[in-house]
Structure 1
């Protein structure tokens, strides 16, 4: 995998407010299909008379949806022409935007067709709309485009150690592994260290939401009719806290875990990075084929992992990502065209294309087949038990409870205050906000995404104006945010740009600070933001210093006695060294974020905090 592939990119978009429930943690790319004239098949992309059908779809199926939209547009044999235009929009972001009343100034064109990854997002949309006094709703029984169940991905040797599949494994088994001291040692493998679970943030990620719902069903001992009252029971609260205690970190996408796992596999350390990760079945197929993020660049060849993953279908049951198809707005002509496109998507020929992408057909008339076969680490006969999407009020209560039950964090924000941070955030606007202005605002806003008992501190780095020596200023000590938030905001407001950028030294200092007070009950991490490259006055030793830094970060994450400090890096502005920052994040088994456009820093900072 390349460094670029490991970096979460946030291209230029309109600025917008950020909240935990509604943040956009995605790179939005407008993908327009060709439009065929009446039966002629000629493109008419510039024909303003075409009936346009904007479609907001979840990112994992954008390529497939684009391909099928182009087929549909070319094959259109009705009056005039139609152009279905898929756009990648995360399920959580679209759910919030629709519930609040779609803001075109922030979100772009309002969709006629919406296809989130799961109908759970439709239920959440209806609940949020109702809570906000709006009347917008989506149907409870939408057509299904394609299916993929949530699974617990586990390295083959670990699944073997649990006796799977001969011995069923469920959330209760994961709870035991999460809370036992020396869980793997008791099962004959002390070299694997503690049990480590990877889960995405349920406010942003469908796999994270599905895992949390399934976990609550298991905690309550229910198969359906999960209630708000059941969620409040002590046994359910304790169950959830136990599971969350083993989390490596959270995040907005499962690709962070899968790419980190794949890199660890190349170093033969996959068994100490993570023990299990909640993902969709399709991701296991992609990983075992040697393509962990599901995307092959031109010329890139897949490399199968040394240790394949096994899909565990929890014995208590699991949920499907059912990729529903909702018609949510538009003129009658647009709605009619959307309905025809939905029927087109469910035709057997097109459902076979769904299979080719690693999903199960939504049309029950099309049988499940390759690549959903045992040799790819999946079981076409599973899941044996499918759990229903809970009532919208229950879903809302599950998300609210998770905000208090999730694993705590201990985080140092390490911010670059070099002289270049005084540059205008927008080229050609010298009177507008500087890069540092926007970074301070973003960091302050992102504090709302932590919970009150998370521990957060602030340190800045630059060089002395006279000596050129590195300067690291501890502005706010690391302590619980509840008593620390205003002090952090005050310190952020008072930041001023100064001189150089001792990047490598800053990263090492931050790592040492978090490691010295390592807390095994928390996610121990650094947020490192810089707009430049290493400038510590001695360029001759840069290569050696960089190598020593990445080796140090990697050593902290490996071995039985690992005390991992995750370093989440933000490349801020066009002058930042994205390759080196990606390598730093990779070495610590974290994630790198690219805010080349300074105007995207609000979204980027909140995306980073989604890991906690």
Structure 2
């Protein structure tokens, strides 16, 4: 969507996680954070125009809706925000999700060490906040600590680029910098992860591969047939939203460098060149869908691999090197539940280090120059930074699949070819552009991203008229407000329609759903959809399976290969249609028509709304179409959830 700026996203609990898997609680801000079905809260993003519109709405949710996943509904990451003993200083850290387990572990060790007692007692507490969300919260002064978690003393996004963007946004408002220069304590490069046979078809490992090769294959009408594999269909790229995801931000920067054939000095003038714009749009045209976290793609790919279909889901995913190691170990989300035994994929991934160059996620340790940070807290934060950089702790960093920031610790296993990665790569490292260029890249992405074709499907059954909380509003009232707000997250060229469903909504067939606004250009029908949403009233039962299948079929029949084709289905209940009671039949039909993804992939993103929603079934419906399910069991979180869902387009 045009204008999507960093905004919140529901947390990713089940975002595409293999069915039945639950992630352990994770410390992260945001109390009533929305969650992906499966148990974890979620979050998301947005650029300039919308950024402004969404920030107030989403700031509350953002923090908690971090990327990886928590499970307690309060957005607290494992290790949690422990109580601080009397007389001790709390040193709160906001860290990107992929390293929350590692830093929670290190914080506990530090808190038990003598180093934490020097200069007075201090306690480091870790909370999970995705990089883009943390940037936006800090840009706005970290509002509402009760909802977003305590204001951090230390901020560690995945990349120092986020600190540069934060400072630039504050400078644009004549405010002082919050993120001083800082050093990395561990690193991991951006790679293009590809199933090994696909990489080999492009010449890997002997022939360097880059974004120009991706663009060429993406624009070839024969797709993988041009490489002798028509059975793989068109080239499909998995990429998240650069307003919140570091891997997507790095990939987008690298695309611009590839288009200009530069490795440094990317300028605003470069971004404005027509050939650069065409290159960026060409790469984006191959995207399967977006989203707030790479785990969606990796978990969906892992599920496809178990069914023997990994070569037709996605051709490549922009991720960090560490994620390739996790995936190949049989742990695509990087978190092992107690007693869980990882199963290696049938088809492993390999890390392609783009020949044009790539960027490192340098994981800076930023002690904030913020008015709420005391001198004593800064001293304690520096003590923890020194502790983390000690050789024995840097070896723990390596064990987690990151490259140590301390040069005294050599890079070794698991960063090796046995795990699909290469410690001797990358050969070409790109410079991080200047802050104004970074901000402009995010603005341009909103215009260049792949357009969407989305059917909004909203439950108007009788239970939607139930109270949503103590404020006197109903669940439908809150859903109407959230859906209306979400319309601003689409760019004018996106195509959106509105369908409502309940049993007996009309006397003629189809009797269980009604198209209030047909799918059309939202720049032309936004007001019409808004008015239709405001007129909704609760009615009868919930024909969930019927409307899911009908909406899916309709989009497949009118499929547009130049767009992301998807259904967003919100319901607060279970299937109540006696004429269509068989969920297994629905799932089989969805899976069979979607398997292979070589022709007309349509995804159903589901929202389980309220405590009575059948989250298990909704997750299975989403997974059958390689999408994601979102948990809004707390009706007051529906704004955040809608924000997270729309991040996929």
What TM-score, normalized to structure 2?
0.88
1:107 is the counterpart of 2:107: no
How much has 1:229 moved relative to structure 2? Answer: 0.6
Aligned equivalent of 1:394, options 425, 434, 437: 437
Per the alignment, do residues 20 and 268 of structure 1 end up closer, same or farther by CA in structure 2, a change over 3 Å counting?
A: farther
How much has 1:20 moved relative to structure 2? Answer: 10
User: Which residue of structure 2 aligns with residue 71 of structure 1?
Assistant: 109
- Any conservation in 2 of the 1:351–1:366 contact (CA below 8 Å)? yes
Q: Distance in 1 between matches of 2:142 and 2:212?
A: 41
Q: Which runs of 5+ in 2 are unaligned?
A: 1-17, 23-35, 44-53
Q: Distance in 2 between matches of 1:288 and 1:333?
A: 43
- Any conservation in 1 of the 2:193–2:352 contact (CA below 8 Å)? yes
Aligned equivalent of 2:312, options 250, 262, 272: 272
Aligned equivalent of 1:492, options 533, 542, 548: 533
Aligned length: 595
Q: Deviations over 1:567-589 (max 9, x none)?
A: 10111111111111111111101
How much has 1:313 moved relative to structure 2? Answer: 0.2
How much has 1:388 moved relative to structure 2? Answer: 1.4
Q: Distance in 2 between matches of 1:342 and 1:607?
A: 33
How much has 1:222 moved relative to structure 2? Answer: 0.9
Aligned equivalent of 1:149, options 179, 184, 189: 189
Q: Distance in 1 between matches of 2:79 and 2:279?
A: 47
Q: Deviations over 1:196-236 (max 9, x none)?
A: 00000111111111110111110111110100110110110
Per the alignment, do residues 465 and 234 of structure 1 end up closer, same or farther by CA in structure 2, a change over 3 Å counting?
A: closer
1:558 is the counterpart of 2:595: yes
Q: Deviations over 1:470-525 (max 9, x none)?
A: 52011111011101111111111111111110000010111112112100000000
1:344 aligned counterpart, secondary structure: helix
- Any conservation in 2 of the 1:470–1:536 contact (CA below 8 Å)? no
Per the alignment, do residues 97 and 561 of structure 1 end up closer, same or farther by CA in structure 2, a change over 3 Å counting?
A: closer
Bigger shift: residues 152-161 or 127-136? 127-136
1:309 is the counterpart of 2:309: no
RMSD: 2.3
2:518 aligned counterpart, secondary structure: strand
1:537 is the counterpart of 2:567: no
Q: Distance in 1 between matches of 2:464 and 2:279?
A: 46
User: Which residue of structure 2 aligns with residue 7 of structure 1?
Assistant: 37
- Any conservation in 2 of the 1:34–1:83 contact (CA below 8 Å)? no
Per the alignment, do residues 466 and 158 of structure 1 end up closer, same or farther by CA in structure 2, a change over 3 Å counting?
A: closer
Q: Distance in 2 between matches of 1:204 and 1:254?
A: 11
How much has 1:104 moved relative to structure 2? Answer: 3.1
User: Which residue of structure 2 aligns with residue 608 of structure 1?
Assistant: 645
How much has 1:364 moved relative to structure 2? Answer: 1.7
Structure 1 residues 53-452: aligned runs within 5 Å: 53-75=91-113, 76-105=116-145, 106-139=147-180, 141-328=181-368, 329=370, 330-426=373-469, 429=470, 431-452=471-492
How much has 1:557 moved relative to structure 2? Answer: 2.4
2:581 aligned counterpart, secondary structure: helix
- Any conservation in 2 of the 1:185–1:193 contact (CA below 8 Å)? yes
Q: Distance in 1 between matches of 2:91 and 2:609?
A: 35
1:30 is the counterpart of 2:76: yes
Aligned equivalent of 2:87, options 25, 46, 49: 49
1:17 aligned counterpart, secondary structure: helix
User: Which residue of structure 1 aligns with residue 27 of structure 2?
Assistant: none
Bigger shift: residues 560-569 or 302-311? 560-569
- Any conservation in 2 of the 1:286–1:294 contact (CA below 8 Å)? yes
Per the alignment, do residues 560 and 281 of structure 1 end up closer, same or farther by CA in structure 2, a change over 3 Å counting?
A: closer
2:453 aligned counterpart, secondary structure: strand
2:477 aligned counterpart, secondary structure: helix
- Any conservation in 1 of the 2:457–2:498 contact (CA below 8 Å)? yes
Q: Deviations over 1:259-279 (max 9, x none)?
A: 110111111111010110101
Q: Distance in 1 between matches of 2:376 and 2:600?
A: 59
What TM-score, normalized to structure 1?
0.93
- Any conservation in 2 of the 1:11–1:595 contact (CA below 8 Å)? no
Bigger shift: residues 432-441 or 398-407? 432-441
Per the alignment, do residues 8 and 177 of structure 1 end up closer, same or farther by CA in structure 2, a change over 3 Å counting?
A: farther
1:528 aligned counterpart, secondary structure: strand
Q: Distance in 1 between matches of 2:134 and 2:260?
A: 30
How much has 1:547 moved relative to structure 2? Answer: 1.9
Q: Distance in 2 between matches of 1:559 and 1:337?
A: 53
- Any conservation in 2 of the 1:573–1:597 contact (CA below 8 Å)? yes
How much has 1:48 moved relative to structure 2? Answer: 2.3
Q: Which runs of 5+ in 1 are unaligned?
A: 36-43
Per the alignment, do residues 99 and 20 of structure 1 end up closer, same or farther by CA in structure 2, a change over 3 Å counting?
A: closer
- Any conservation in 1 of the 2:240–2:292 contact (CA below 8 Å)? yes
Per the alignment, do residues 466 and 610 of structure 1 end up closer, same or farther by CA in structure 2, a change over 3 Å counting?
A: closer
Per the alignment, do residues 258 and 465 of structure 1 end up closer, same or farther by CA in structure 2, a change over 3 Å counting?
A: closer
User: Which residue of structure 2 aligns with residue 41 of structure 1?
Assistant: none
User: Which residue of structure 1 aligns with residue 497 of structure 2?
Assistant: 457
- Any conservation in 2 of the 1:206–1:321 contact (CA below 8 Å)? yes
Q: Deviations over 1:16-38 (max 9, x none)?
A: 83469995542563358699xxx
Q: Distance in 2 between matches of 1:116 and 1:8?
A: 25
1:584 is the counterpart of 2:625: no
